[in-house]
Structure 1
Amino acid sequence: MINIVSNKGFNENKLIAFSEKIGYELPNDYIEFLRHHNGGYVKNSISTYYKNGEQKFILTSMFGLGSEEDLISQFETYKNRIPNTCIPIGRDAGGNLVCLNLLEGKYGNVYFWDHEEEKYEDEKMTINDLYIIAETFKEFLNSIERDNIKESKEEGYKVKKVWIDTDFLKELENNSDK
């Protein structure tokens, strides 16, 4: 289950305005989450999506209404980048999104959007370009596991490969000389 530091200030009118803005009704399990937590900072939590088998990601935040990472601003930022039947509801440590689908048939399904696979220009992303996490928001919440870094070290995991942006590396090197 999610380990979250909840946002304060949930407002029912903001929920209604958001639903009207996006043109979809939100699933009840997601509405209850917003009423109880209004999004927030997620601590030590990992989740799973399916792309060529099981893939893990570190969940870092869930978006709320009127919060620092506001649902409305996140919707505006990503509305032309993710499928138009989805809303962004959370973020992972790498800047990827957790999305909630609001179209019939797959209504309430939760997906992982990998920004590395984003399409540009005339190509539009479809729901088939995202990776399934869970069939309902409640199932998504229940699937979240506690990430215990101490246990991982004991299991003998080792870093195989690290990639650093070349511009960032130059900046680090320049700053280390000062």
Structure 2
Amino acid sequence: MTMTNDSFNEIEKYLIELGISSGADSYSEEELIRLEEKYEIDFLEIYKIFVFKYGNSTFENDVRYRPLKQSHWTGKDGLNAFGSFFGFEEGADNLEENIKRYYDRIPNSIVPIADDGVGNLICIGIKGNHIGKIYFWDHENEITAKVMLNEKEYVGVSVDDYWENIFLIAESFFDFIKSFEIEEIVNESDIDSKIVSEKMSDNFMAMMLAAKAELEAKEKNRKEKKKEN
């Protein structure tokens, strides 16, 4: 337990540097025990300490993380986008609701603990060789969709055996948190220069800047709503 506490203290210092805000309330251990018993989950102690204090937390800064195995969602800089951690508050980021929602869509050796804001999951291993490891689940390539599209090579393949859309992020929750980085803010003047240098059309530049502004507004609104809750 002492080693676990030391590890948590280290990642907590890093989380504070990244600008994390603590959850609205502290949660009872009984609530997590009930969840573990209901879904036959045994979370590692370091994650339990984290979710009690930082479940449903937001970051003051935009942050991304560096996965061990990249997917088509990974940027050219090797970083993945991050949305929010799940916790015990009601709503879209409720931990139990997300476990229930994806129960038959992801292998039973992992459970979702966060998302990237665009439908993909960040999961933690809870069984076998996967215990404690952190994974990225790509919603665009899940087996349910392949079966619905009648892709014959996947007929008879179980969700538990299908890992084509799952990518290793980190060997541990500790390593996952330490892989976070504050996203660099790109000035619009830099974007303009890049567009000019690549001789892009004025219409394309306007569309890109409008899309960027819309995404920033949506993200700002999401964070403000989470803080109000």
For residue 27 of structure 1, what is the amino acid of its counterpart?
Answer: L
- Give the TM-score normalised by the residue count of structure 2: 0.61
Of residues 27, 31, 38, the one that matches 1:21 is 38
String of CA shifts for 1:104-128, please: whole Å, max 9, x gaps.
2221000000101111145425473
Which residue pairs with 1:62 in the alignment?
85
Shift of 1:79: 0.7
Change (3 A) 1:71 1:54: closer
Q: How much is the aligned-residue C-alpha RMSD, in angstroms?
A: 3.0
What 5-or-longer segments of structure 2 have no aligned partner? 1-13, 148-155, 208-229
The structure with the greater share of residues assigned to helix is 2
Q: Where does 1:13-162 land on structure 2 (aligned, <5 Å)?
A: 13-42=30-59, 43-49=61-67, 50-51=69-70, 55=74, 56-68=79-91, 69-120=93-144, 121=147, 123=157, 124-126=159-161, 128-129=163-164, 130-150=166-186, 154=190
Call closer, same or farther: CA 1:104–1:125 in 2, change over 3 Å. closer
Distance 1:33 1:127, change over 3 A: farther
Distance 2:87 2:46 in 1: 14
Residues 86 and 99 in structure 1, CA contact (< 8 A), matched pair in contact too: yes
Residue of 8, 20, 34 corresponding to 2:24 = 8
Residues 24 and 147 from structure 1, CA distance in 2 versus in 1: closer, same or farther, beyond 3 angstroms?
Answer: same
TM-superposed deviation, 1:53: 9.3
Aligned to 2:8: none
Percent of aligned positions that are identical: 25
57-66 or 73-82, larger mean C-alpha shift: 57-66
**Structure 1 residue ranges without an equivalent (≥5):** 163-178
Q: CA deviation at 1:25?
A: 1.0
- Structure of higher RCO (CA pairs closer than 8 Å, 6+ residues apart): 1
Aligned-partner Cα distance in 2 for 1:153–1:47: 26
Conserved in 2, the CA contact under 8 Å of 1:109 and 1:135?
Answer: yes
Summarize the Cα distance change of 1:131–1:21 in structure 2 as closer, same or farther, 3 Å threshold. Answer: same
Q: Is the 8 A contact 1:81 1:118 kept in 2?
A: yes
How far the C-alpha of 1:44 sits from its partner, in A, is 0.5
| CA gap 1:148/1:51 in 2 versus in 1, 3 angstroms | closer
Say whether the 8 Å CA contact 2:133–2:171 is kept in structure 1.
yes
1:57 and 1:93 in contact (8 A); partners too:
no
Moved more, 116-125 or 132-141: 116-125
The alpha-carbon deviation at position 149 of structure 1 amounts to: 1.9
Any idea what the Cα deviations from partners look like across 1:8-47, whole Å, max 9, x if unmatched? Answer: 2322111111111120210111111112212323441101
Aligned length: 162
